[in-house]
Chain A
Amino acid sequence: MSGPPRAFVPMQETGGYQIPSLGYRILVAALLLIPSFFLLVALPVAALTFVNSRGIALPISIVAVIVWGFLLLGVGTARSILKPTRAYGPLSVAASLVSLLYLLYLITLSPYRFVVPGGSASIAAGYSMFLELVMIVPAIGLVAGLLTTVEDARAPKERLPFDYPA
């Protein structure tokens, strides 16, 4: 009895994807956490502490930066670990929403006003236009997350061979 050689069976038909183990995904997420932590928490906190040490009023409290930073890190890490699951899309949406809320919160603090030590001069710097531009990033991420959510709902595991090719 003859048939097509098994060697030519496409991977999709054989479930051709290889999802990394949970431990491996946690490890990767932890590694990704390091630069994200510096970008979202360590660097802003260091800058604010430096500014504060010069006697200049802070544009935002250090506690707020830490809270928002860890919130973003938490959602981002969960999203990274749960990428092979159906939670990936909703978590992507959630991460984008948290980012948008953080940016909106920062916009409410614009412009940043500070009085030059001595009190003879004050400077106000507005940054809301820039932050509005930055909001494009999570807005696009939000749409992408919605698309993934729809895709996972319509055809579960359809994306896995492309996200995790064997």
Chain B
Amino acid sequence: MAALVVPTHRRPPAIYRAARALRWVSAIVLVVLILYAGTVAYSATEVARSSVQSRSLSASFAANGTVEVGGSFTLSNPGLYPIQTVTLTARIANGAGVFLGKLGVGPTDIAPSSTGVFPFALYLPVSASGPAVSLLTEDQYLDVNAWGNATYAYLFPISVSLSESRSWGAPFEGFQATVGTPSGSGGALTVPVTVTFSNHAGSPDVGTLTFVIESSNYVDCGGGAFSLDVPPGGFYDQSQNVALSSGCSPAGGQLFTTYSNAGGTTPLPPEAIP
């Protein structure tokens, strides 16, 4: 009679079972991690395709002595994982490297399959004594350095830094306020004041330009006002005669001008009177 071989049903030793169980766990963890890595790569590609979009960037006069550069950027996250603790900081300097201001956004999270919209506003002090006063009267390139941090899919920290030059159109490009030669007779002297500039900003210059003629010994000789409504790209060239105070000579003094609109008042750089 031939021997009939049947499979053994003896239980494997504990140490063997433990090793086998560990190998199974290891294999399952590996498969899960490979699937995770694959989906992360796919999602990251989708996010990269959507890219950051900046929109509605605008500059306008805000509270006293400041220009507000405002706008927003959107970041779409069409992937499967959240983008967490998104922070963005931007530092702006003028063409001469003088620090003008910085802005910050976040930290915030962007859920999967959603879009984050981040408004921002940067207030640049453009008072006559401030570092950004040249923004009023000189077209220039601004150095924008931005850097951001985020964590993608829980495990992947990402940081981005960006440097670029952005052209700036001055609202009073080439601003000149000149005082002419006094004329008249007796004690009634008048002097012509001429203001010229181009509006290279994206918004119109609407408001009032008031001016004061100050003598070399700081006496107010007289003043006036120009009404402004200069569209973007427009050129302004207006003159008016100003009656001088009795005995006041503008020679060697200064012409102070101030722009006023609904947002407040902004002093423009003073002009020396020859």
Contacts and interface: CB of A to CB of B under 8 A. Distances in A.
Interface of A: 5-12, 14, 16, 111, 120-127, 129-130, 133-134, 136-138, 140-141, 143-145, 147-148, 150-151, 154-155, 158-159, 161-162, 165-166
Contacts of B224: none
B164 interface: yes
Name B's interface SS: mixed
A7 B155 CA distance: 59
Interface string B1-37: 1011111111011011011101101100110010001
Max chain B Cβ within 10 angstroms of own Cβ: one of A130, A136, A165: A130
A136 B33 CA distance: 10
B156 A127 contact: yes
Contacts of A148: 16, 19
Contact of B33 (A121, A137, A155): A137
Given A126-B156, A165-B8, A147 B18 contact: yes
A16 to B, nearest CB: 6
Given A8-B4, A158-B13, 18 more contacts: A5-B1, A6-B4, A10-B9, A11-B5, A11-B6, A12-B10, A16-B5, A121-B160, A121-B163, A123-B158, A125-B156, A125-B157, A141-B26, A143-B22, A144-B18, A144-B23, A144-B26, A154-B15
A16 B4 CA distance: 12
Interface residues of B, number: 34
A111 B16 CA distance: 40
Contacts of B7: 11, 165-166
19 contacts: A7-B6, A11-B8, A120-B163, A121-B160, A124-B158, A125-B156, A126-B156, A129-B156, A134-B33, A137-B26, A137-B29, A141-B26, A144-B18, A144-B20, A144-B23, A148-B19, A150-B15, A158-B13, A165-B7
Contacts of B8: 10-12, 16, 161, 165
B162 interface: yes
Interface of B: 1, 3-10, 12-13, 15-16, 18-20, 22-23, 25-26, 29-30, 33, 37, 155-164
Contact of B155 (A10, A11, A133, A143): A133
A8 B3 CA distance: 8
Contacts, number: 108
A147 B159 contact: no
A147 B19 contact: yes
Nearest to B153: A130
B32 to A, nearest CB: 10
Nearest to B26: A140
A126 B157 contact: yes
A121 B69 CA distance: 22
A104 to B, nearest CB: 17
A154 B194 CA distance: 105
